[in-house]
Amino acid sequence: MPVIRVDSTTTTTTTALDPTLRESLLTKLKKEIAGETIFGGPVVFEISAGTECFDVIVVWEQWVSVSRSEDRTALILDAYAEDKRQRIAQALGVTYDEAVLEQLLPYVVVSQFEHEKMRLLAFRDKADDVLRRIRTAKREQGGFDLPNGNVELRFPTREMAEQVQIALLQKHRELNWWVTPGRGEFST
């Protein structure tokens, strides 16, 4: 197999990213990493690499305004404190659609009621309330609001998905949560 390299003398390391936009995104990203959750903010996945190093995937619709992956990566790295930044093995910034397309979030947490839509008929007049509770619970755990109004709860590892499933079962047992590998056809 050949080795393919980019000639560093012909590439530019400058960014076309507007400084005001960069600072705004960096501030929001730092807040999210610090635990100050903001509506519409990024969802940050820190995945252990089996050592003290870890990978970071940041799923955020704001990445649409940052076309270069190098700029996204630089923003993610700059958002971390120096001690943590040095332990990051890989940082990747993607939109929700990019994450799904690249199969970066293959595990979906769903309520049994989403899978068995017929069970909602048993609630008849309470069906809207049940769906609202499912969507709210998903948002609280980092669910992604889709353009069609549904909310999808996706994760890069089965372990992360199972941890959230356990948290949901503890708080909303009656909604019967489970993990499925999939394409999200059960999102509400």
Residues forming beta bridges with residue 144, ordered by sequence position: 152
The side-by-side arrangement of strands in the sheet containing 54-59 is: 43-48, 54-59, 88-94
Residue where one domain finishes, among candidates 101, 136, 156: 101
Query: What is this structure's pTM?
Result: 0.83
Co-location of 24 and 89 in the same domain: yes
Report the alpha-carbon angle 183-111-36, nearest 5: 85
Who contacts 57 (Cβ-Cβ below 8 Å, separation ≥6)? 44, 45, 47, 92, 93, 94, 99, 104, 156
Average pLDDT over the chain reads 86
43 φ, ψ to 5°?
-105, 120
Give the range of the structural domain holding residue 40, as residue numbers without chain letter: 19-101
Helix (H) or strand (E) holding 135: helix 127-140
Co-location of 52 and 84 in the same domain: yes
Please give the pLDDT value at position 1: 66
Q: Residue 135: pLDDT band by 50, 70, 90 thresholds?
A: very high
- Over the stretch 9-42, which tens digit does the pLDDT of each residue have? 544 445 578 999 999 999 999 999 999 988 788 9
- Over the stretch 64-112, which tens digit does the pLDDT of each residue have? 999 999 999 999 999 999 999 999 999 999 999 999 999 999 999 999 8
**Given a cut of 90, is residue 144 above it in pLDDT?**
yes
Who contacts 84 (Cβ-Cβ below 8 Å, separation ≥6)? none
Q: Residue 184: pLDDT band by 50, 70, 90 thresholds?
A: very low
**Given a cut of 60, is residue 123 above it in pLDDT?**
no
Residue 41, domain CATH: 3.30.300
- Over the stretch 149-160, which tens digit does the pLDDT of each residue have? 889 999 999 999
